[in-house]
């Protein structure tokens, strides 16, 4: 007799795609199936688990808390399966074919400094035959023209002439150091504007956040940095309230070095994408993409 709690692997792939896109239609486009097929697969997972994974809304899907918790367990397992498949695929292990190969990657400075660099020793231990050449920039690099195997970018995802794989959407919210919060009484969100502010020049900065949260006019002054990593360093030192970008601040929040000032969250119009040359198959780029999903964008810290 079939166990009703059994969930086929392809259903978990559908779930992972739906979580990344927060849209059945967009997930269907990635998987080359119909939106109804994705919806039916998600429904089967919900029935097997006995929990609701998504709230269906007019403009997309809203993942439930159960969905986020389930993703923490599922995504690393899927990444491991993809990695094992790459190793076992045709004509032997990729190690024998790619030994000593250099993987050239360009990405945003903040992502490299805050999330990638701390994990590089673990990457080197896990993939000793791969040499990473990692550079950083803010520009939308052309992988072919600029000589990269792939790039990680933060943007709308509609770039001509390249293949763009969605890694993760991002929510933003207000954060500060516990020491700074202890010096102020916050009775409502508008009280935050009486605290010192730390600005960066990235999308969804303080002007956009103040507008979306209904905070009114921003006070003059405050520290201004070009890059999120420097702004967050200032926030960690108790110098002001910063706009926290989910995938950059998550480890500091988990460790208690930063605290959220409210439950209000704003979905950024930009997402993280892995960009590669159009129509070019590359096993190591596939492996690196799986590693990013497992270690950087899974929220497992």
Element (H, E) at 193: none
Q: What residues does each domain of the chain span?
A: 9-63, 75-170+270-295, 171-267
Return the number of other C-beta atoms located less than 10 Å from residue 106's C-beta. 22
Instruction: Tell me what pLDDT residue 88 has.
Output: 60
11-15 contacts, C-beta under 8 A, 24 or more apart: 11/41, 11/42, 11/44, 11/45, 12/45, 12/74, 12/77, 12/78, 13/78, 14/38, 14/41, 14/42, 14/45, 15/41, 15/42, 15/45, 15/53, 15/67, 15/70, 15/71, 15/74
How many other C-beta atoms are found inside a 10 Å radius of the C-beta of residue 282?
15
CATH 3.40.190.10 fits 75-170+270-295, yes or no: yes
Task: Please work out, in degrees rounded to the nearest 5, the angle formed at the alpha carbon of residue 144 by the alpha carbons of 142 and 146.
Answer: 60
pTM here? 0.72
Task: Judge whether 75-170+270-295 and 171-267 match in fold.
Answer: yes
The correct answer on CATH 1.10.10.10 for the domain covering 9-63 is yes
C-alpha of 31 from chain center: 20
pLDDT (0 to 100) of residue 299: 62
The pLDDT assigned to 141 comes to: 62
List the pLDDT tens digit at each of the 301 positions of the chain.
335 567 878 888 888 888 888 888 888 888 888 888 889 889 989 988 889 999 888 778 888 888 888 887 787 777 777 766 666 654 445 454 555 578 999 998 899 999 999 999 989 988 888 889 999 887 766 777 778 899 999 888 878 888 889 999 999 999 999 999 999 988 888 889 999 999 998 888 899 999 988 888 888 888 999 888 999 999 999 999 999 999 999 999 999 999 999 888 898 989 999 999 887 788 889 989 989 988 888 765 4
Please tell me the predicted confidence (pLDDT) of residue 1: 36
> Is the backbone of residue 26 left (phi > 0), alpha (psi -120 to 50) or beta?
alpha
What is the reported pLDDT for 100? 56
Which pLDDT value is given to residue 152? 93
> How many CB atoms lie under 10 A from the CB of residue 108?
24
Superfamily of domain 171-267: Periplasmic binding protein-like II (3.40.190.10)
Whether 170 and 271 have beta carbons less than 8 Å apart is answered as yes
| Rounded distance between C-alpha atoms, residue 66 and residue 51, angstroms | 7
Q: Name the CA dihedral angle for 283, 288, 289, 295, rounded to a multiple of 10 degrees.
A: 150
């Amino acid at each position: 007799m079939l166990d009703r709690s059994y969930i086929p692997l392809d259903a978990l792939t559908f779930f992972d795609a739906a979580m990344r896109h927060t849209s059945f239609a967009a997930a269907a486009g990635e998987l080359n199936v119909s939106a109804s097929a994705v919806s039916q697969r998600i429904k089967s997972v919900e029935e097997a688990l006995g929990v609701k994974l998504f709230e269906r809304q007019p403009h997309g899907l809203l993942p439930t808390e159960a969905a986020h918790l389930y993703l923490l367990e599922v995504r690393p397992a899927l990444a491991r399966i993809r990695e094992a498949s790459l190793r076992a695929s045709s004509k032997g292990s990729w190690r024998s074919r790619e030994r000593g190969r250099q993987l050239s990657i360009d990405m945003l400075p903040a992502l490299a400094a805050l999330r990638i660099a701390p994990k590089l020793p673990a990457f080197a231990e896990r993939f000793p035959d791969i040499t990473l050449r990692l550079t950083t920039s803010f520009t939308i690099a052309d992988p072919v023209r600029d000589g990269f195997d792939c790039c990680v970018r933060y943007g709308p995802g509609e770039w001509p002439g390249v293949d763009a794989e969605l890694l993760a959407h991002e929510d933003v919210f207000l954060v500060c150091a516990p020491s700074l919060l202890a010096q102020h009484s916050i009775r409502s969100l508008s009280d935050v504007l009486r605290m010192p502010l730390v600005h960066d020049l990235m999308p969804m900065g303080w002007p956009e956040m103040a507008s979306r949260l209904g905070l009114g006019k921003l006070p003059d002054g405050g520290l201004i940095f070009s890059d999120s990593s420097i702004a967050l360093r200032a926030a960690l030192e108790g110098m002001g309230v910063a706009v926290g970008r989910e995938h950059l601040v998550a480890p500091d929040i988990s460790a208690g070095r930063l605290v959220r000032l409210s439950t209000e969250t704003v979905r950024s119009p930009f997402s993280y994408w892995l960009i590669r040359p159009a129509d070019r198959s590359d096993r190591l780029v596939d492996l690196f993409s799986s590693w990013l999903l497992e270690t950087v964008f899974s929220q497992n810290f």
